[in-house]
Structure 1
Amino acid sequence: MDDDLSPPDSDTDDEAPGDLDRALLAGKSQRVGRFQYDYGTDTWTWSDAVARMHGYEPGEVEPTTELMLRHRHPEDVANVTASLAKTQAPFSGRHRIVTKAGDVRRVVVVGEVVKDDDGEVLATRGFFVDVTAAVKEDVQKGVTDELQHIVAHRAVIDQAKGMLMAIYDISDDAAFEVMRWRSQEMNVKLYDIATELVAQVPGLLAVRDHDQNPINRLLMTLKGEGR
């Protein structure tokens, strides 16, 4: 089925954060947020989380290509500019954001293309994962307390986290947040998301021999139906 160009759904960043959220954020920057870029109109849609990753409050600025590139680390601008070229395949990468306040944040970007009925690429959309290490010891305790209710399913969740950590070279916390974000977005249990990843990722890797594209597609289409 062809994707439409409706704005991305609101993220979990619109919800009031609890201890777990705060542990997986760095200051006000949410750890995962959506974006969409329309090639024809050169326009961007950012979720509140992506705005905060750049140092802005939701609605404070209108995202543009010029603004986006201005916030990229000088050493990463060339690669980010090249990544804006039209592509037929899902993609992933990492770069650094220089926030409005001048802080440097490290992000992983995972995206997919949006096509019309004729197969023409109209846009790209996906999500940013903030992998900047900034978790305090007292908040880390909150993570431990919050995670007690999933102890029974820990093995599967840890296995899924390990897969994401290896594929995208991200931290344990960031991998967990990707799954938690998809869990809340799809309104399904985190365990179901983990189960689907564990069931499908090995086969995708075997087919493509370490190509990340099928993994990117799976993350964008997870429905928590692994069981």
Structure 2
Amino acid sequence: MGAFTYDARADAWWWSDEVYRLHGFEPHEVVPTTALVLAHKHPDDRDGARRVLEEATVGDRPFGSVHRIMDATGRARVVALVGRRRPGAPEAASVLEGYFLDLTDEVAERSRSEANRDIAASAAHRAHIEQAKGIVAFAYGIDPESAFGVLRAASNNGNVPIRDLAAHVVERVTTFRGDPYRVCEYLAEAAGLPLPR
């Protein structure tokens, strides 16, 4: 986190050492300007960041923005910009004060956690689907690809997600006591599929 001050009338910025480093510079290596600040914004976030600054200079409410930047070394970062117009400053001499916060590591960690959770959930669903394919292939006397077609048709006919249908087949098969015909009866009942001959 680093502090900044922005004098809108003079287009003059003061950055703490941390803000220079956040942008990939050594302290006081460059003269911070609005053009420099905006040049480091991700192109998709640049207009939004410009609007936040413009609106902040004429309002008394605190402001905040989360956007992506590319620092001087080419590293992408996610930053939050928060602050407010200096209390008591006339609008004609708007001075903003606030902080840049580097959220890059927190965003990356959250993305990793969500990806890991999604992958684990997908693997669990895939395991049920593969097991259900085997059960249906055995019950109907068909190959695994055709068994998946049976599951897909049952999913569509019953308006049930295939992952849920597969989980039900796997769960229910234990109650069928090894009778494959009962799997066929279940699918026929649950999704209107024909019983095998």
The TM-score, its normalising length taken from structure 1, stands at 0.43
- Rg larger for: 2
Which structure's relative contact order is higher, taking Cα pairs within 8 Å and 6+ residues apart?
1
The TM-score, its normalising length taken from structure 2, stands at 0.49
